[in-house]
A = this chain, B = another copy of it.
Amino acid sequence: MPEITISMAEGRTDEQKAGMMRDITQALVKNLGVDADAVVIQINEAPLRHKMKGGKTFVERAAAAKK
């Protein structure tokens, strides 16, 4: 019955996100022996301006990466 929360910045495709959640589901089935039906996953996606790492928002980090 583990519940998984993923905190991430926007910018990934729906395919990437669905694939990630499917593989996480399998990681729990394999390691904990639970039914897939018991695994619930939610992505809490933040706009780039609502996430910071190293003192820079992801807006600033994206701008710096483009230079």
Contact = CB atoms under 8 A, between A and B. Distances in A.
Contacts of A2: 6-8
Interface in A7-39: 7-9, 12, 14, 16-28, 30-32, 35-37, 39
B37 A16 contact: no
Interface in A23-67: 23-28, 30-32, 35-37, 39-46, 49-55, 57
Interface residues on A, range: 35 or more
A21 B54 contact: no
Nearest to A30: B23
Contact of A39 (B19, B43, B54): B54
B45 A50 contact: yes
